[in-house]
Amino acid sequence: MIALLIRDLRLAIRAGGGFGLGLAFFLIVIVLVPFGVGPERAVLTRIAPGMLWVAALLAALLSLDRIFALDHEDGSLALLATAPLPLEGVVLVKAAAHWLTTGLPLTLAAPVLGILLNLSPEATPWLLASLGLGTPALSMIGAFGAALTVGLRRGGLLLSLLVLPLYVPTLIFGAEAVRRGAEGLTALPSLALVGGVTAGCFALLPFAAAAALRVNLR
């Protein structure tokens, strides 16, 4: 499992593409927001938590189809399926690698971009915590969506249609935590719910994703 994780991380970093692209996309979306809604600081402060979450979510979406597609094309996915490591474990590792290359950088970049949107300083720790807890769920759900669409030639658009509705609970709880943090309310319940969604995703979705992969490899 660890070998697979290291291999995936290396591929993601050296082959270019996914790693920096998601971050750049995140930056551009956040820069575009003030152009769209106007530069008033009060307005930006109000919408900052939600915009940061939505932008992070879209940035995570970008690289989802790469989770399995490349391995499917060159046949290494079939090899992984016959390996002694159960396919559920492969899914878990793939999702973890995706998180390490997109979710984690997005989380770390978010506070900096928060300054651009005039996010209130009290909210920054909550932003870090909620993105840190929530983006693994995005990766895991995305891995499930990628497993469903791996056999399709133009699966990218379909993938987003399938995955985005599944992102709703994570987004609601995550953005709510930051908003409550920004208003000085207690954000812990929302944060706990984000953690709950993530834990549930990691417990259950590998089985669904592995089942989908088996069907696609048939």
Partner 1 sequence: MSIWEYANPKKFMGWTRPVLPWLWALAVACIVTALVWGFFFTPDDYKQGSTVKIIYIHVPSAMIAINAWFMMLITSLVWIVRRHHVSVLAAKAAAPVGAAMTVIALFTGAVWGEPMWGTWWAWDPRLTSFLVLFLFYLGYMALWAAIEDADTAADLTSVLCLVGSVFAVLSRYAAIFWNQGLHQGSSVFRAGRPDSVAEVFYLPLMLSIAGFILLFLALVLMRTRTEIRLRRASALEARMRSA
Residue ranges in contact with partner 1 by CB under 8 A: 144, 148-149, 151-152, 155, 158, 161-162, 164-166, 168-169, 172-173, 176, 190, 193, 197, 204-205, 208, 211-212, 215-216, 218
What's the min distance (Å) between Cβ of 122 and partner 1?
21
Query: Is the CB of 101 or the CB of 198 nearer to partner 1?
Result: 198
What's the min distance (Å) between Cβ of 91 and partner 1?
13
* Separation of alpha carbons 154 and 17, rounded Å: 18
- Nearest CA among 82, 146, 138, 144 for reference residue 107: 138
Query: Is the CB of 70 or the CB of 152 nearer to partner 1?
Result: 152
Query: Is the CB of 63 or the CB of 190 nearer to partner 1?
Result: 190
Rounded alpha-carbon distances, angstroms, from residue 18 to 49, 73, 97, 109: 24, 17, 12, 16
Give residue 24's identity as a one-letter amino acid code.
A
What's the min distance (Å) between Cβ of 152 and partner 1?
6
Query: Is the CB of 70 or the CB of 164 nearer to partner 1?
Result: 164
* Separation of alpha carbons 70 and 68, rounded Å: 6
Query: Is the CB of 29 or the CB of 152 nearer to partner 1?
Result: 152
Do 159 and 64 form a contact (C-beta atoms < 8 A)?
A: yes
What's the min distance (Å) between Cβ of 59 and partner 1?
20
What's the min distance (Å) between Cβ of 139 and partner 1?
15
Do 68 and 95 form a contact (C-beta atoms < 8 A)?
A: no
What is the DSSP secondary-structure string of 54-83? Answer: HHHHHHHHHTTTHHHHHHHHTTHHHHHHHS
Query: Is the CB of 45 or the CB of 216 nearer to partner 1?
Result: 216
Rounded alpha-carbon distances, angstroms, from residue 80 to 1, 94, 151: 11, 11, 16
What's the min distance (Å) between Cβ of 86 and partner 1?
17
